[in-house]
Amino acid sequence: MYGDLNTLDSQPLIASSNNQSPPTPAVEKPSPKAVAVPHPTISNDDATISIDTGASRGISTVAISPNGKMIASGSRDGMLKIWNLGKNTTGTIPTSGRTLEEELYGENAVAFSPDGKTLASGSDDNTIKIWDISKGQLLHTLKGHSAWVSDLAFSPDGKTLISSSFDHTIKVWDLGKKANTQPVEARTLKGHTAWIFAIALTPDGKSLASCSFDNTIKIWNWEKGEVRHTFKSKANRVFSLAISSDGETLASGHEDGTIQLWTLSTGQLTKTFKGHKDWVRSLAISPDGNIMASGSGSQDNTIKIWNLRSGKLLRTLKGHSDDVRSVAFSPDSSTLVSGSFDNTIKIWQISSFR
């Protein structure tokens, strides 16, 4: 996710007080389109499949479809791609890829709908786009945020999309009952006082977690727009979140390289994991609830696999040569996908790491 955080403060992320938008580059913006891309370059190294994505400014976000057959990726140079996955004797392999969009603005977040038919993407132009995956067609563009869209989450029933932004707000979008119904902004959640970096929904969809540069994690009743709990972190700014499949455990990744585990219902801090040398940019908990993956920044560039219950470090995955900005598990918990600023996506078979 996101660009170089060391330089973000100098960039016009939020509209000025006179309600004028940040200046737009004097370049004609290409129309959204779906085009075929060449077969990915694949190299096998230590049970890892590496996809050379063709990006030039880094992969900032990845997601795996609910059926485990597709990967979506977004890059800082505005490339939004879908990779179809197949199986062979060595496991999961990417068989083809296509580009949904090429634009001027970096993609920060992607999310598949629960039925796997649509994809949502959030970018630096402050908008959210919703795509028909099978047709490669842009269905809707949602406008409402005044700064970069940082993260996205669908409700379990697929009727609601939730977005977070560097404008310090979270927006709840009613998607309607039909794909051709224009989504509407249902409400805005306010409470954070700095950039919001990540959000995560509980599996039952009843609670939403958000984390911010204000050093807090908030748990929301998003349907009512109310804050249930605020967890104050002593480990500096919070970059990433993940919630366990039973909805009981919240993991947060921090600027100081630590990962903290919280009891979601009470806000009690239960464990602190140490091992990364740099910011924990991304987190994911396996659907079976047994392990957690964490990706780190430029002084580290590793992915660590942890036993969620004991806190034991099971494996350190090395292979990326730049920040690991996004990690995601397959639905069967056997595969991990990672996206990095080294312009690659890596697929790790992790069944033997447990």
User: Which residue in 143, 61, 155 sits closest to 108, CA to CA?
Assistant: 61
Q: What is the pLDDT of residue 146?
A: 97
Contact 348, 83 (CB under 8 A): no
Q: How far apart are CA 238 and CA 255, in angstroms?
A: 6
- For residue 252, what are the contacts with CB-CB under 8 A and spacing of at least 6? 211, 217, 231, 233, 238, 240, 241, 259, 260, 262, 283
Type and span of the H or E element at 93: strand 91-102
pLDDT tens digits for 221-235?
999 999 999 998 776
Neighbours of 347 (CB within 10 A): 24
Buried/exposed code over 195-233 (b: 16+ C-beta within 10 A; e: otherwise): bbbbbbbbeebebbbbbbbbbbbbbbebeeeebbbebeb
pLDDT for position 241: 97
Q: For residue 60, which phi and psi values (nearest 5 degrees)?
A: -105, -20
**Token pair recorded at residue 205:** 């969809």
What confidence tier does 44 reach under pLDDT thresholds 50, 70, 90?
very low
Whole-number pLDDT of residue 161: 98
Rg (CA), the chain: 19
Q: pLDDT, tens digit, for every residue of 155-208?
A: 999 999 999 999 999 999 999 876 677 899 999 999 999 999 999 999 999 999
- Of 122-131, 277-286, 331-340, 343-352, which range is least confident? 343-352
Catalogue all structural domains in the chain, each as residue range(s) with its CATH number: 108-190 (2.40.10.480), 203-274 (2.40.10.480)
Task: Say which range, 31-35, 40-44, 62-66, 334-338, has the weakest mean pLDDT.
Answer: 31-35
